[in-house]
Structure 1
Amino acid sequence: RFGSSPIDSALLSKFETTLGQPPHFLLRRGIVFSHRDMDQILALHSQGKPFFLYTGRGPSSEAMHMGHVIPFLFTKWLQEAFNVPLVIQMTDDEKFLWKDISLETARSYTTENAKDIIALGFDPERTFIFSDLDYIGSSPEFYRNMCRVQKAVTFNQAKGIFGFTESDCIGKISFPAIQAAPSFSSSFPHIFNSRSDIPCLIPCAIDQDPYFRMTRDVAPRIGCPKPALLHSTFFPALQGCQTKMSASDPNSSVFLTDTPKAVKDKINKYAFSGGGATVEEHKKNGGNCDIDVSYQYLRFFLDDDQRLEKIL
């Protein structure tokens, strides 16, 4: 949709040929399902040319849940497979603008969420995690790129893309430029020696695509490469595959700070089952794994294809 391309068998084969290893199971299973210009990133890597990874987190609670972890686990695999730098933007400014929280609370959420991200094991020599509230004020180059994006996008365009209304605060209207700026290597002169020509690959959930469609439209006009993207589906809430896990609803989410007992209790109490309506029906027809939340969680976390197939 909107010009993205499905991740097909041909692209999966290119992954394997380029990296000398099978594609990540999230790619093989269609959980990471869509892309923009991933073929160009693979070509760059084959030619020995540099690129970097960019992903982010909007810290809206003290602890991340399992749905937040999926993009980071996939990004970690990308970093290891391609051996490239990674920047992680913590959009505490966004949460301050959108949520009824103080700046101090937003910053504290960033600190706690950053601990969760660090615990996943990213390469500390190649990973830069930054808070918008802290970094932008100390980086003239980042702010200049924000200004370039702001000047290149009209209010009507922003309203059409993001659905802004007259009652929205002006901070919301300018925020997309902040999320766009890390797509450009010149925003991080301490990492890329002030180069502006290094392309970027952004693994993200599909709901973030509007930000980066805008960024891709602006990039050539400000003399920067268009960022490439890999899109993933949402991690389902406990209540079923039609809803995504939300940090604001503790009964829909499994948090990284939950104890093993709490996780088990949530799964047993709240997880939507694909079982039959009656015992007899279930014995006759079996369960429906397409809607069974516990099975879907295995699709996201169990990397052994044979074990997953056996369960199915």
Structure 2
Amino acid sequence: MTEATNDIEKKVENMTTKNLEEDVVNPWEVASSSDKGVDYDKLIKRFGSSKVDEELIKRIETVTGKPAHHFLKRGVFFSQRDMHQILNLAEQKKPFFLYTGRGPSSEAMHLGHLIPFIFTKWLQEAFDVPLVIQLTDDEKFLWKDLTLEEASRLSFENAKDIIALGFDVEKTFIFSDLEYIAQSPAFYKNMLRTQKLVTYNQVKGIFGFDDSTCIGKISFPSIQAAPSFSSSFPQIFNNKTNIPCLIPCAIDQDPYFRMTRDVAPRLGYIKPALMHSTFFPALQGAQTKMSASDANSSIFLTDTDKQIKTKVTTVNKYAFSGGGTTTEEHKEKGGNCDVDVSYQYLTFFLEDDNRLEEIRKTYTSGELLTGYLKKELIEILQKIIGEHRQRRSQLTDDIVKQFMTPRKLKFDY
């Protein structure tokens, strides 16, 4: 066994180990025994990443000349790898690019899926850099009961949800693995280079694969690694191999990029930097994340105003409440913002810091009742989803194809 192999196995822990005292966090499962959800401070230590602290937030504001996004200020993006190096590049007017992705397993995306894209859009505009968005329809074919044709169709539909957030077609390339890899020898070569350097034992340790795992799943991590390297997109980066990458993603995707960061120097590439987000909790509580396969755990971008209201207001059946069981008990003991799903959703989507703090104080004291908290959330979500639905309805297939056509973007290298 080589020294490099030992290094990977020392650094990368088994992400699928289930310990009653530990949260389970891997690319396919998120579970916590606590009503408050995942302990993110413990997760930082376990994964070996760094906390997004006040110093980093202030430096981002200084470098961009813009106020920090509320996802940063509120700890939604809480963990990072090498973000200071990205800021060094920005200060020196040197290039980097953004990469994030989506696994298209459902017709419509839900609110939780929006979080990385909302923040990625802010980063792209703040730093004025190119963005590549990977749609892993091949992954969903391997893991879900989907045909290749259905996975490809869902990829195209999900691209519409992403584009409806307002990305700039001149600065953004969205690609389906099923389409792009067949057109890109450079991308495929980087997949092969990665595959050659990672052993079966290593992917077993990282992802929990076993002897019954199909070989498609075993090789898939190399496909998610490839967009981290600028040489995978010669049409964008003019065949440059040394343009650094920043990946905003949910923390459950980190195992893929820990592997990538270990392989990158051996390929002569730069390690990708990362910013990790917390999970958007399921309606039933923060012990797990929203799931596209469970309609009752999620609020979808296709939900009507009535469906949104029903899901939020049906406390015990859907939306988990941190309020008292009766009005009297709530007024006496107050609400628990740490576990109340409606309040947690407001921390993501209510941008007004003063109003959020007012809600926190009055709900905690018992002055604000659960019904009023939910009413405020319903109005905000109906507005966000209604506006998104309207923008999406205006997208033509031709617009989507423009985003998904391999091409040069509005940057020179």
Q: 2:225 aligns with which of 155, 180, 188?
A: 180
CA distance in 1, matches of 2:182, 2:222: 15
CA distance in 2, matches of 1:266, 1:282: 21
CA distance in 2, matches of 1:77, 1:299: 17
Structure 2 letter corresponding to 1:47: Q
CA distance in 2, matches of 1:260, 1:83: 35
- Which is further off, 17-26 or 130-139? 17-26
Task: Check if 1:277 corresponds to 2:301.
Answer: no
Q: 1:164 aligns with which of 206, 209, 218?
A: 209
- Residue aligning to 2:114: 69
Task: Check if 1:126 corresponds to 2:171.
Answer: yes
Q: Give the match's secondary structure for 1:218.
A: helix
Q: 1:242 aligns with which of 280, 287, 299?
A: 287
Matches within 5 A, 1:78-97: 78-97=123-142
- Which is further off, 269-278 or 249-258? 269-278
Q: Give the match's secondary structure for 2:297.
A: coil
TM-aligned CA deviation for residue 242 of structure 1: 1.4
Aligned length: 312
CA distance in 2, matches of 1:143, 1:281: 61
CA distance in 1, matches of 2:232, 2:107: 28
- Residue aligning to 2:335: 287
Q: Give the match's secondary structure for 1:204.
A: strand
Q: Give the match's secondary structure for 2:95.
A: coil
* Cα-to-partner distance string for 1:171-226 (whole Å, 9 max, x where unaligned): 00000000000000000000000000000000000000000000000000001100
CA distance in 2, matches of 1:160, 1:126: 37
Matches within 5 A, 1:10-89: 10-89=55-134
- Residue aligning to 1:189: 234
TM-aligned CA deviation for residue 138 of structure 1: 0.5
Task: Check if 1:221 corresponds to 2:258.
Answer: no
- Residue aligning to 2:382: none
* Cα-to-partner distance string for 1:224-254 (whole Å, 9 max, x where unaligned): 1000000001000110111110001000100
CA distance in 2, matches of 1:213, 1:149: 13
Structure 2 letter corresponding to 1:117: I
Q: 1:309 aligns with which of 357, 369, 390?
A: 357
Task: Check if 1:110 corresponds to 2:155.
Answer: yes
CA distance in 2, matches of 1:245, 1:56: 17
- Residue aligning to 1:144: 189
TM-aligned CA deviation for residue 16 of structure 1: 1.1
Segments of structure 1 that go 5 or more residues without pairing to the other structure are none
Per the normalisation by structure 2, the TM-score is 0.75
Q: 2:245 aligns with which of 183, 200, 209?
A: 200
- Which is further off, 286-295 or 108-117? 286-295
CA distance in 2, matches of 1:176, 1:280: 53
TM-aligned CA deviation for residue 45 of structure 1: 0.3
Give the share of equivalent positions with the same residue, in percent: 74
CA distance in 2, matches of 1:16, 1:95: 37
* RMSD over aligned Cα atoms: 0.7
Segments of structure 2 that go 5 or more residues without pairing to the other structure are 1-44, 361-413
Q: For the pair shown, which has the larger CA radius of gyration, 1 or 2? A: 2
CA distance in 2, matches of 1:110, 1:16: 34
Task: Check if 1:268 corresponds to 2:313.
Answer: yes
CA distance in 2, matches of 1:59, 1:266: 23
Structure 1 letter corresponding to 2:336: N
CA distance in 1, matches of 2:231, 2:325: 57
